[in-house]
A = this chain, B = another copy of it.
């Protein structure tokens, strides 16, 4: 990835946006080693795609950002300030690249500081342009270790929050590569299909498009939601319901959805092959790229 544009937020200030948002060099060191992002993974984030200077599904990402912050007992993000920061970075990015992304991050702040959080919005481009169309991916199922209901029974496990503590997600992706695959679908310890480390799952089963429900402690997928909106508009049947592993392996086709990759077609899961529906995958990509909001 190539950092292009960086804005740092002053979360202790109030008043005019201009006073609270400051552009710095994208590769500058701006974090101390006592920032709780770096020492505890104690913060939340979102990544939005930016096309021609417009961040996609920004309001949905801001919704989820606030939801993650609440799950971590962080102060409620000042929504108008974060929107301003992302839109400002997006406008700058639009002059540099037709397609880029912004990651925005809120950490609990500096361990040695005044208790105000640390915030930033980084505009970046992938190092290499993605293949078009992207190659279908091979996926492995990995145990997430938690029962399907821990988000209800044990909220301190932070399931359903998009936190900076992603070491397990990164380790799962390394395990996938060790097994010759490119991605992961997590399964609860009691056998429910969950999500990928950085994606939401959609399976086509008996002609209907199905995604697992967020009460399983998974993230509400912003891209998945927009895919469902498109499918609904085209007269397709969509559903949110629990899937067992046999349900998933019995699907006709599967996609993993995320902001930066869109809807990625899955070629196999643990060796079980699926239909790769190139036509629908391309139509979904065009639909997502046309969101412009």
Please report A residues at the B interface, Cβ cutoff 8 Å.
Answer: 1-3, 6, 27-43, 45, 72-73, 103, 105, 107-108, 111-112, 120, 122, 124, 142-147, 150, 153-158, 161, 163-172, 174-175, 189
Contact = CB atoms under 8 A, between A and B. Distances in A.
Given A28-B29, A29-B29, A38-B107, 14 more contacts: A29-B30, A31-B33, A34-B124, A41-B164, A108-B170, A142-B154, A143-B150, A145-B145, A146-B189, A147-B189, A156-B175, A157-B168, A164-B165, A164-B167
A111 B1 contact: yes
A167 B169 CA distance: 14
27 contacts: A3-B33, A27-B32, A27-B112, A28-B32, A33-B122, A37-B37, A39-B105, A40-B41, A40-B164, A40-B166, A41-B41, A42-B167, A73-B171, A142-B154, A143-B150, A143-B154, A145-B146, A146-B146, A156-B171, A156-B174, A156-B175, A157-B168, A161-B167, A164-B167, A165-B165, A165-B167, A165-B168
A171 B72 contact: yes
Given A32-B30, A146-B145, A38 B40 contact: no
A292 B27 CA distance: 42
Contacts of A170: 36, 40, 42, 108
A41 B166 CA distance: 6
Contacts of A108: 170
Contacts of A31: 29-33, 35, 38
Contacts of A143: 150, 153-154, 157
A157 B175 CA distance: 11
A286 B14 CA distance: 49
A6 B30 contact: no
B156 A168 contact: yes
Contacts of A39: 37, 45, 103, 105, 164, 166
A257 to B, nearest CB: 20
Contacts of A189: 146-147, 189
A107 B164 CA distance: 13
A165 B41 contact: yes
B27 A6 contact: no
Nearest to A142: B156
A1 B165 contact: no
A105 B6 CA distance: 25
A116 B212 CA distance: 38
